[in-house]
Structures are given as C-alpha cells and as structure tokens.
Amino acid sequence: MLKTFAVITLLTASTYASANNAPAHCATLDQQQAKILFERWNNTLQTGDSRKVAANYTSDAVLLPTLSNQPRTDLAGKLDYFNTFLRKKPFGTLDSSTVITSCNSAIDTGLYTFRFSDNSEVQARYTFTYALVDNEWLITSHHSSAMPE
C-alpha cells in the first residue's frame, strides 16, 4: 500500500511539474502580426514618451541602437537612448521584413528607414526578437545598425 501511494505521489508530482513547465498554449507570429508589432512600436515613438517606447520591451531586453555605440541592457539605459532619439522626431517605415517564429517567440529581421523632423533619414538593418509574456508580444532584443553605404 505504501509503495502504491509513493508511486502515485511521484507520478502526480512529475505530471504537475511537466504541466507547469510546458506553455499553456503555443502562439506564433506571422508576417502581418509582426508588421502590427512594428507599427505599435513606431506609434509609441510618435508619442515622444520614452517610457511608452520602453514599455514595448521586456525588463531584461537588450537594445543595440542605431544612433549609439552603447548597448542598453536596463530600463535606465533604454530611457536615456530614447530620450535623445525621440528629440529627432523619428518616423520609421519597413522596407523589408522576414519573420521566423516558434512557440511563443519570434524573430523579425530586415531593413527599415527612419525619417526625422529635419528631413534627414537613416536606412538601417534591424532585428527584433519577441517573446509572448502574459499574452502580450514584447521585444526581448532589438539590434539596429545604419547601412554601411
């Protein structure tokens, strides 16, 4: 009897542990959804509020920005970068995008162009990585670098 109880307890515990480690559902991101996420991010740029822009990122996201040589790995760093970047009043447009997706994560990589209030523009390569966190797609890393030519 004790042996049976121990086996049932172990099976129940391992089933519980497996259930808690597996995602409740597996969401994926398609090309259109990635475009919507870019537009959400770009729309927060239009607010001029660095906190709204930073809200698109997980707390531990890494930002390797277009117009800075310094990696931004915490909220203070992201706010510092976006406070400066937003003064230029950037507006981004996607030039090309490739989306690779898996269970609750995705990569969107391609080219975008930023136009600024002084009529200058910068074309850049980008990569956004996303994770589904509490039913919301958030940026876990963002790399952006100006085109070399």
- Indicate if the pLDDT at residue 57 is higher than 80: yes
- Indicate if the pLDDT at residue 13 is higher than 60: no
- Reported confidence tier of residue 36, pLDDT bands at 50, 70, 90: very high
Pairwise pLDDT comparison (87 vs 10), residue with the higher score: 87
- Indicate if the pLDDT at residue 10 is higher than 60: no
CA–CA distance from 87 to each of 14, 32, 91, 116 (Å)?
Answer: 54, 29, 12, 9
Give the residue among 1, 4, 90, 75 at the shortest CA–CA distance from 41: 90
pLDDT at residue number 7: 39
pLDDT at residue number 20: 52
Give the residue among 137, 122, 142, 103 at the shortest CA–CA distance from 32: 137
Provide the sign of the torsion angle of the four alpha carbons 37, 39, 42, 46, taken in this order. Answer: negative
- Reported confidence tier of residue 23, pLDDT bands at 50, 70, 90: low
- Reported confidence tier of residue 149, pLDDT bands at 50, 70, 90: confident
What percentage of the chain carries pLDDT values higher than 70? Answer: 84
Q: Measure the CA–CA gap between 143 and 129, rounded to whole angstroms.
A: 9
Q: What is the pLDDT of residues 75-131, one digit of tens each?
A: 999 999 999 999 999 999 999 999 999 999 999 999 999 999 999 999 999 999 999
pLDDT at residue number 3: 53
pLDDT at residue number 4: 45
Class for domain 26-146, per CATH? alpha beta
User: Phi and psi at residue 10, in whole multiples of 5°?
Assistant: -65, -45
pLDDT at residue number 41: 99
Q: Where are the domains positioned within the chain?
A: 26-146
User: What is the per-residue DSSP string for 47-83?
Assistant: HT-HHHHHTTEEEEEEEE-TT-SS-B-SHHHHHHHHH
- Burial (CB count <10 Å: 0-12, 13-18, 19+), residue 75: middle
- Reported confidence tier of residue 8, pLDDT bands at 50, 70, 90: very low
